[in-house]
């Protein structure tokens, strides 16, 4: 699994011109699932996300987690994070999990984040054409791949 995490002051996802999810201070997370991901990736990654210290403390140092600041999460599935651009100019998506694998893992990631955060998170809709907007705070953008834990 790959995630692109952006610390935001606000973020929203619209589907067919209708608001599907919206947050204020928190994390906008794009999630890419590959065919060999499993529940251990979810457990490790969700723990890493909620404990990631990228929010400022009283001294302006990035030393607080989303748990510490009571922030929100907006999670959006994005298969294009597994794009291969090695050949030609048209990306290939063979490494992205097919829906029969990806949808259950996406849903389990939602549950894992909600459990660890202690509240409901906002989401996009798997497979939908979405419009995502955000105001990146900092800017702070972190990329984490669950296959590179070292």
Question: Is residue 11, in this structure, part of any structural domain at all?
Answer: yes
- Residue 105 is part of a domain; what is its CATH number? 3.50.80.10
Which H or E run includes 134?
strand 130-145
pLDDT for position 19: 97
The dihedral of CA 26, 9, 103, 14: what is its sign? positive
Mean of the per-residue pLDDT values of the chain? 96
In terms of Cβ atoms closer than 10 Å to its own Cβ (0-12, 13-18, 19+), residue 143 is: exposed
pLDDT for position 149: 81
Question: Is residue 150, in this structure, part of any structural domain at all?
Answer: no
Residue 122 has pLDDT above 90, yes or no: yes
Question: Is residue 82, in this structure, part of any structural domain at all?
Answer: yes
Total domains present in the chain: 1
Q: Residue 25's domain spans which residues? A: 2-145
Residue 150 has pLDDT above 90, yes or no: no
Query: Residues 9, 34, 80, 141: which is the catalytic one?
Result: 80
| Residue % of the chain over a pLDDT of 90 | 95
Looking at residues 48-68, what average pLDDT do you find? 97
Q: How do residues 81-110 score in pLDDT, each as one tens digit? A: 999 999 889 999 999 999 999 999 999 999
Question: Is residue 136, in this structure, part of any structural domain at all?
Answer: yes
| Residue % of the chain over a pLDDT of 70 | 100
In the residue annotation, 80 being an active-site residue is answered as yes
């Amino acid at each position: 699994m790959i995630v692109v995490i952006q610390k935001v002051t606000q973020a929203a996802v619209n589907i067919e011109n209708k608001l599907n999810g919206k947050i204020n201070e928190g994390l906008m997370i794009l999630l890419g699932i590959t065919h060999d991901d499993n529940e251990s990736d979810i457990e490790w990654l969700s723990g890493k996300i909620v404990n990631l210290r990228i929010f400022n403390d009283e001294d302006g140092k990035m030393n607080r987690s989303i748990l510490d600041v009571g922030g929100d999460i907006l999670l959006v599935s994005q298969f294009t994070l597994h794009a291969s651009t090695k050949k030609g100019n048209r990306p290939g998506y063979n490494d992205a999990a097919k829906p029969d694998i990806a949808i259950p893992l996406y849903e389990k990631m939602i549950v894992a984040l909600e459990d660890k955060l202690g509240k409901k998170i906002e989401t996009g809709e798997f497979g939908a054409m979405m419009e995502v907007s955000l105001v990146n705070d900092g800017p702070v953008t972190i990329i984490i791949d669950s296959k590179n834990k070292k």
